[in-house]
Amino acid sequence: MFQRQNQAPADFDSPLMSERIVPSRDAIRSWFPALSNEFAYLENAGGSQVPGCVANAIRDYMLTDYVQLGAGYAQSQRATQTVADAHAFAEQIVGAGTAGKVVLGNSTTALIQIIAGSYADIWTPGDEVVVAATNHEANAGAWAKLAQMGVVVRIWDVDPDTFQCSLESLRALLNDRTRIVAFPHVSNLLGEVVDVSAITELAHAHGAKVFVDGVAYAPHRTIDVEKWGVDWYVFSWYKVYGPHMAALFGRHEAFAELTGPNHFFIPRESIPYKFELGSISHEGCAGLLSLRDYFAFLAGEPWKGRETVIRAFEGIAELELPLQVRFLQFLRQKSHVRIIGLGAETEQSVGTISFVHADLTPSQIVAEVDQHNIGIRYGNMYAVRLCSSLGIELEEGVVRVSLVHYNTPEEIDRLISVLDKVL
């Protein structure tokens, strides 16, 4: 009855597949119905496209198992299993191992608010938080708001020349009242991958925990919360080829300090449920769960859990890097262009590339590009504190081009040929 598209190819067991071979871009794109036309999606940091299997799984779930969880009949048992499996899958994606659990929710913004609100219940005036200026507002405002109850909010400034928040400046902000250091793994404007382990180690040495916004990192590289030692790590599925949902990893010790906001009669040990307010999107769980098929395809092997995730993201990084290098090399030739960020032509940056022009406004540049079936955008991308620190006008912001592994060299060349005339 349901027409399925883009299911896992049948030839997983072919001998070629046992070596690590990154699938062709054509094969990858055939999983994404939205990519079958001429439009170049280069605004992926805003949200990625979904493989057909995600949309199909949501539809199938809604038309078969769309019932409440926890009852005895078959549909309810299947629905319960889907939601449990989605949590287990999310734990494999972040590499939780035995270190902690994953809460699912509507959005990264909502999940951060839930955790900040839970800390507000136990913190006292004079406790401190450090908030990186490079944050998207989601991981800044929720903490800054706690100033109302007497929490001291310290801003971890960005160096306008290096675009980095340095370890030295963090060290100067930490003291024995610091409770949380909130920072992005990758800024959604700057694209640089920061050293999460080093920051975490420094914060822990002062008795503070870290809350890492992994939203701009997660579509591009393997998350490894256990290895990095982070306390909290959050990302949004809709930027990682899935539906509008988010996932938050928390270490057991971090959860243990807090009482989640769910109803009083739900035991505080009931993690993640104590932190999932009301019903999460069960159909979204079905959708994100089907990403196992897509990651297995990328990895060239049947789904094996965490090891498939790692292989899939190795392939993703390999596909993205040449595109990012090509575009950065073009931009560097333009004397009136200033790249906002390190713009590393290595895996130290992801393909999220922002720039401004000496004479043209970001809106003028994007208006030209809009006419050529290419999607990019301009603005502050809700990184308002970062834009203010860098002296970037908030309304116009920057021009941002953001690519992922399904983009093609041809798309980048099309964008370059349009921008070449404009810039």
Residues binding ligand PLP (CB under 6 A): 107-109, 136, 138, 184, 188, 213, 215-216, 236, 246
Residue 274's closest CA among 141, 121, 66?
Answer: 121
SS3 13: helix
φ and ψ of 346, to 5 deg: -140, 180
- In the complex with ligand PLP, the residue whose CB is nearer, 67 or 384, is 384
Distance of closest approach, residue 236 Cβ to ligand PLP, in angstroms? 4
Q: What CA–CA distance (Å, rounded) separates 204 from 345?
A: 31
132 close to 279: Cβ distance less than 8 angstroms:
no
Judged by CB, which is closer to ligand PLP: 137, or 368?
A: 137
CB of 118 to ligand PLP, least distance (A): 17
CB of 103 to ligand PLP, least distance (A): 13
To which residue do tokens 């060239």 refer?
300
A 10 A CB-CB count for 338 gives 13
DSSP state of 262: S
Task: Give 139 or 308: the residue with its C-beta nearer to ligand PLP.
Answer: 139
In the complex, least distance from residue 104 CB atom to ligand PLP, rounded to whole angstroms? 12
Q: Which CB sits closer to ligand PLP, 25 or 377?
A: 377
Q: Which residues of 255-287 are buried (b: 16+ CB within 10 A; e: fewer)?
A: beebebbbeeeeeeeebbbbbbbeebbbbbbbb
CA distance 134 to 276: 28
Q: Which CB, 107 or 408, lies closer to ligand PLP?
A: 107
Q: How far is CA 361 from the centre of its chain?
A: 28
Residue closer to ligand PLP (CB basis): 87 or 377: 377
Residue with smaller CB distance to ligand PLP, 235 or 330:
235
| Pairing verdict, β 232-236 and 246-251 | antiparallel
Nearer Cβ to ligand PLP (7/107): 107
Q: Which helix (H) or strand (E) holds 248?
A: strand 246-251
Minimum Å gap between C-beta 37 and ligand PLP is 25
Q: State the residue for tokens 């071979």.
A: 21
Residue type, 233: Y
User: In terms of CB distance, is 92 or 236 closer to ligand PLP?
Assistant: 236
| Pairing state between β 178-184 and 128-132 | parallel
> What is the DSSP pairing of strand 246-251 with strand 40-41?
unpaired
Q: Least CB distance from residue 45 to ligand PLP, whole Å?
A: 6
CB of 223 to ligand PLP, least distance (A): 14
Q: Minimum Å distance from CB 222 to ligand PLP?
A: 18
CA max distance for the chain: 67
Give burial (CB, 10 Å; 0-12/13-18/19+) of 358.
Answer: exposed
Q: How far is the CB of 281 from ligand PLP (least distance, A)?
A: 13
